[in-house]
């Protein structure tokens, strides 16, 4: 017997690669996602299913056992082996009727009956209107499971209605999808030499149920009107079909292609596609065709993968298509095996390019919630619930990835907005974004010393110089043609000016590790603006300026910074005395944006002046703010859909990454100075908002390019990825990195040497 390990493991019972089937691929993708999401806090092993065990099967290290499903006695033997393990917390069975021996796979029941560990069963097929034998098998599986997982509402409703499964034990977790980048479509068309073509595709292990012939019969009139059409039939023939019938089905499709004279338009990619190649084919496709003739097909990984790649889907009315496709994402046909219906739908989308692209974008956006990362979070939640181990699930830190930051940066500066991940030149530039980008670049270079980051740093610093006026102040808004916009005259620019001073001061504090030319340039801009610093009255602008003064003091040791900091801190203290009362320990009658900047500035003022009153007010107001931000193990920052007035009920939802990032900066400072563990714990909770610990239990960062989504709404995520979100996420991520690479310095030393933000 193995000793008890900590934490407990999840054992997944499933077919597994190199076995070529959809369930095997699903399970591999799931465990990879769980590993990326929770790391060693949710370890996983695999019990691989095989109908005939092959001695030369080359499994990965996560496969601990192989269950020969054709030998009835092996089911109970495997259960006894697992029972001897006291480090297995949950057994998760990926269920498909054909995977197990017996009538409707009822041999599985002997395994489940003998098992002592809690069982979660994932139904990949839920057949409606069961006969008596099928109903008994499914009922028994439900009775022997602690939790049932299905992948769509149709399966959920069928389990409840046709099998009387208690609703409370069934959880819907959508089939996972891989996050792809919209901008890759044209690049991939060029890569595969389809840049002159309209590409249609279908994917999956070929069998008669795929009904590819229906699409082939629909194509002659389509290619007559659009000779640049290419239809890709992606995937090899299903191995079980090959065992029974050889390649007769594929050969029949090839014959139909010849008869219809479509040889130049239909391309059979006859191989089992590895994930990367598959995703590229789907991403370059203009339209995805799903022609299944199985009205009871409960799940299709190919269907959801295509939608998540931004393909408008034309589909027969299988249950998942009915659930996913709407008028904004694709075309749902009324019947099966109707070539004429496919022809009309294909021509409609080819004729109307604008609509085709709009449908693809809507599908791309709609499917983002079903990413494998989000599926992993949901499976982790089920595991934690069954094992009472929620506190032991630890979100992994994603890799630091600058891809999107670079793509948003031109030779002039960082663009303001994006459409999905595509930079939007029409949005122009702002000082706000470029000042934050400069701070992020300095932080990154301080940790990793990458030369490319120095070049980007120069761009952001040059932008700050470009928008600085002769009187030392800064404009904020610049269009793509490098002209100041009218918006500069319509809004108060104090906050933008304060952020610029924060950025300049922070760069100067790192002079020892940066080229002298950068420091001299930043000092020039700082000195030009310095005479104006006494004029700031906006509380948040004062906060940004105090941060800049603190960092500049680390560089210059100029006592003038201390005197000015005290003067500005007194203004914040005046606001506090004016607005606070016994129940409202704050500087204003409301909480709006960048709230944590205010107590953070008071703490920096204390660090510079050593006045205990500043420290006292900093902690009082920061703790008051935190009491409104942290609840039930999650952070909920102030909504941008309505500020929090002390006289009104608080609005929730509408959360933005910048607010979470700012609270992370502040928690970092307060923890390093006070060494109170509550601040470090809250810092970790705050960052986990990005990795899925939020009210939607969805990731807020984009693992494909290192970007961050623009907003967490009540029911969805805004998946545009603008500069503000991307840079704030990067800075928050780099704050977290300090706790893994800077352990040699004591926290208080970090504060006094300016490592903290």
The per-residue pLDDT for range 291-327, each reduced to its tens digit, is: 988 887 766 777 788 899 999 999 999 887 888 899 9
Percent of the chain with pLDDT over 70: 96
* 8 A C-beta contact, residue 110 and residue 81: no
Helices (H), 285-352: 301-308, 319-324, 339-351
Q: What is the three-class DSSP state of 385?
A: helix
Name the β-bridge partners of 327: none
Closest CA to 42 of 398, 397, 374, 390: 390
Calculate what percentage of the chain has a pLDDT beyond 90: 81
Cβ 129 vs Cβ 162: under 8 Å: yes
DSSP letters spanning 343-404: HHHHHHHHH-HHHHHHHHHHHHHHGGGGBHHHHHHHHHHHHHHHHT-GGG--PPPPPP--HH
| Arithmetic mean of pLDDT, 472-497 | 97
β-bridge pairing 287-290 and 418-419: unpaired
Q: Which residue has the tokens 């928008």?
A: 467
For residue 289, give the 3-state DSSP assignment: strand
* Long-range Cβ pairs for the range 65-71 (8 Å, 24+): 67/13, 67/111, 69/99, 69/100, 69/101, 69/107, 70/101
CB 17 within 8 A of CB 25: yes
- 227-238 residue pLDDT tens: 999 999 998 888
pLDDT at residue 757 tops 70: no
Q: Nearest 5°: phi and psi at 383?
A: -60, -45
The overall average pLDDT reported for the chain is 92
User: DSSP assignment, residue 299?
Assistant: -
The pairing of strands 644-645 and 590-591 is antiparallel
Cis check: omega of the bond before 18, within 30 degrees of 0: yes
Sign of CA dihedral 212, 218, 224, 226: negative
Q: Is 177 in contact with 302 (CB distance < 8 Å)?
A: no
Give the three-state DSSP class for 369.
Answer: helix
Largest CA distance in the chain: 89
Contact 239, 207 (CB under 8 A): no
Write out the two tokens for 228: 């640049």
User: Which residue bears the tokens 């504090």?
Assistant: 509
Distance of alpha carbon 705 from its chain centroid, rounded?
Answer: 10
The candidate with the shortest Cα–Cα distance to 436, out of 420, 455, 450, 416, is: 416
pLDDT tens-place string over residues 542-571: 999 999 999 999 999 999 999 999 999 999
pLDDT in tens, 13-45: 999 999 888 899 999 999 999 999 999 999 999
**Cis? peptide before 7, omega within 30° of 0:** yes
Q: Is 316 within 8 Å of 202 (Cβ atoms)?
A: no
- How long is the chain? 757
Q: How far apart are CA 260 and CA 219, in angstroms?
A: 9
Q: Are 296 and 289 in contact (CB under 8 A)?
A: no
Indicate if the alpha-carbon torsion angle 152, 154, 159, 164 is positive or negative. positive
Q: How confident is the model at residue 6 (pLDDT cuts 50, 70, 90)?
A: low
Extract the tokens encoding 416: 């303001």
Strand partners, 314: 289, 331
The count of other CB atoms within 10 Å of the CB of residue 707 is 30
Q: Which residues pair with 414 in a beta bridge?
A: 409
DSSP states of 679-741 as a string?
A: HHHHHHHHHHHHHT-STT----EETTTTEE-SEE-SS-EE----HHHHHHHHHHHHHHHHHHH
Rounded CA gap, 635 and 629, in Å?
Answer: 5
For residue 581, with 0-12 CB atoms within 10 Å meaning exposed, 13-18 middle and 19 or more buried, which class applies?
exposed
User: Residue 183's pLDDT is what?
Assistant: 74
Write the Ramachandran bin of 101: left for phi over 0, alpha for psi from -120 to 50, otherwise beta.
Answer: beta
Residue 332, classed as helix, strand or coil, is strand
Tell me what pLDDT residue 755 has.
30
707 pLDDT above the threshold of 70: yes
Predicted local confidence at residue 515, as pLDDT: 96
Answer yes or no: is pLDDT of 746 > 50.
no
Residues 6+ apart with CB under 8 A from 14: 23, 24, 26, 27, 46, 47, 48, 49, 93, 94, 99
* Residues near 746 by beta carbon (within 8 Å), at least 6 away in sequence: none
419 pLDDT more than 50? yes
What is the number of alpha carbons within 13 Å of residue 492 lying toward its C-beta?
Answer: 9
The DSSP bridge pattern shows strands 147-150 and 88-95 to be: unpaired
| pLDDT tens by residue, 499-517 | 999 999 999 999 999 999 9
Q: Kindly give, in sequence order, each residue whose CB lies less than 8 Å from that of residue 346, ignoring residues fewer than 6 positions away.
A: 200, 218, 219, 222, 287, 289, 314
The CA distances from residue 219 to 216, 270, 339, 520, in Å, are: 5, 20, 8, 67
pLDDT at 4 over 50: no
Average pLDDT over residues 176-198: 89
CA dist., res. 328 & res. 345, Å (int): 14
Q: What angle do CA 417, 421, 737 make, to 5 degrees?
A: 90
Distance CA 578, CA 192 (A): 67
What is the structure's pLDDT at 194? 94
Cis amide leading into 266 (omega within 30): no
The tokens describing 179, both together, are: 């996050």
| Residue carrying the six token digits 């010849």 | 258
pLDDT digits 0-9 by tens, 130-150: 999 999 999 999 999 999 999
- For residues 459 and 454, what is the distance between their CA atoms, to the nearest angstrom? 9
User: What pLDDT is stored for residue 750 in this prediction?
Assistant: 33
At residue 390, the pLDDT reads 63
Q: Which domains does the chain have, with CATH numbers?
A: 9-172 (3.40.50.2000), 184-370 (3.40.50.2000), 398-427+632-757 (no CATH)
Token pair in block for residue 245: 């019938």
pLDDT at 744 over 60: no
Please name which of 492, 565, 574, 507 lies closest in space to residue 533, comparing C-alpha atoms: 565
Q: Identify which has the larger pLDDT, 634 or 51.
A: 634
Place of tokens 């999840």: 10
Residues 6+ apart with CB under 8 A from 626: 682
């Amino acid at each position: 017997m193995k000793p008890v390990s900590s934490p407990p493991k999840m054992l997944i019972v499933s077919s597994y690669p190199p076995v070529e089937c959809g369930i095997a691929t699903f399970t591999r993708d799931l465990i990879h996602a769980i590993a990326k999401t929770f790391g060693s806090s949710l370890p996983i092993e695999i019990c691989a299913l095989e109908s005939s065990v092959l001695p030369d099967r080359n499994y990965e290290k996560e496969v601990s056992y192989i269950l020969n499903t054709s030998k009835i006695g092996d089911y109970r033997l495997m259960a006894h082996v697992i029972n001897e393990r006291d480090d297995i917390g949950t057994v998760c069975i990926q269920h498909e009727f054909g995977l197990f021996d017996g009538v409707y796979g009822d041999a599985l029941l002997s395994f489940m009956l003998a098992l002592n560990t809690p069982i979660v069963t994932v139904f990949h097929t839920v057949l409606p209107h069961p006969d008596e034998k099928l109903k008994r098998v499914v009922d028994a599986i439900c009775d022997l499971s602690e939790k049932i997982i299905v992948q769509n509402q149709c399966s959920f409703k069928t389990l409840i209605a046709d099998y009387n499964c208690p609703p409370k034990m069934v959880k819907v977790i959508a089939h996972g999808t891989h996050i792809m980048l919209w901008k890759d479509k044209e690049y991939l068309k060029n890569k595969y030499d389809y840049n002159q073509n309209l590409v249609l595709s279908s994917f999956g292990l070929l069998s008669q149920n795929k009904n590819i012939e229906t699409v082939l019969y629909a194509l002659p009139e389509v290619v007559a009107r659009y000779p640049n059409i290419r239809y890709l039939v992606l995937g090899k023939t299903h191995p079980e079909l090959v065992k029974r019938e050889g390649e007769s089905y594929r050969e029949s499709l090839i014959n139909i292609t010849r008869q219809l004279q479509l040889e130049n338009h239909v391309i059979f990619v006859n191989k089992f596609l590895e994930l990367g190649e598959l995703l590229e084919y789907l991403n370059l496709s203009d339209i995805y065709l799903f022609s299944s003739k199985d009205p009871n097909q409960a799940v299709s990984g190919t269907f959801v993968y295509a939608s998540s790649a931004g393909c408008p889907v034309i589909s027969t009315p299988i249950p998942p298509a009915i659930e996913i496709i709407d008028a904004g994402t694709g075309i749902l046909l009324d019947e099966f095996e109707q070539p004429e219906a496919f022809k009309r739908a294909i021509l409609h989308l080819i004729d109307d390019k604008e609509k085709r692209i709009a449908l693809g974008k809507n599908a791309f956006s709609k499917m983002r919630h079903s990413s494998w990362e989000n599926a992993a979070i949901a499976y982790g939640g089920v595991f934690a619930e069954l094992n009472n181990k929620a506190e032991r699930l630890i979100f992994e830190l994603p890799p630091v990835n600058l891809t999107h930051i670079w793509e948003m940066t031109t030779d002039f500066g960082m663009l303001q907005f994006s459409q999905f991940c595509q930079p939007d030149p029409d949005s122009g530039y702002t000082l706000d974004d470029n000042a934050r980008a400069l701070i992020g670049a300095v932080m990154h270079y301080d940790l990793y010393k990458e030369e490319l980051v120095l070049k980007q740093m120069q761009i952001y610093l040059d932008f700050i110089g470009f928008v600085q006026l002769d009187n030392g102040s800064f404009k904020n808004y610049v269009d793509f043609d490098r002209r100041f916009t009218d918006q500069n005259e319509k809004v108060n620019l104090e906050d933008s000016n304060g952020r610029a001073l924060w950025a300049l001061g922070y760069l100067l504090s790192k002079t020892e590790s940066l080229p002298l030319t950068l420091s001299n340039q930043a000092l020039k801009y700082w000195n030009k603006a310095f005479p104006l610093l006494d004029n700031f009255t906006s509380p948040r602008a004062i906060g940004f300026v105090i941060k800049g003064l603190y960092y500049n003091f680390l560089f210059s040791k100029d006592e003038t910074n201390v005197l000015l900091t005290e003067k500005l801190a007194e203004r914040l203290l005046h606001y506090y005395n004016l607005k606070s009362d016994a129940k409202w320990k704050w500087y204003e009658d409301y909480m709006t944006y960048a709230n944590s900047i205010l107590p953070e500035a008071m703490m920096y003022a204390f660090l510079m002046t050593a006045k205990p009153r500043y420290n006292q007010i900093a902690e009082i107001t920061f703790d008051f703010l935190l009491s409104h931000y942290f609840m039930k193990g999650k952070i909920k920052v102030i909504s941008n859909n309505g500020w929090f007035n002390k006289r009104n009920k608080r609005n929730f939802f509408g959360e933005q990454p910048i607010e979470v990032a700012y609270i992370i900066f502040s928690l970092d400072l307060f923890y390093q100075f006070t060494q109170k563990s509550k601040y470090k714990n809250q810092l970790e909770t705050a960052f986990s908002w990005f990795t899925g610990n939020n009210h939607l239990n969805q990731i807020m960062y984009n693992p494909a390019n290192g970007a961050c989504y623009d907003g967490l709404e009540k029911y969805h995520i805004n998946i545009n990825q603008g500069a503000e979100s991307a840079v704030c996420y990067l800075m928050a991520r780099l704050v977290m990195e300090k706790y893994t690479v800077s352990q040699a310095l004591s926290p208080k030393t970090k504060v006094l040497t300016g490592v903290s933000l």
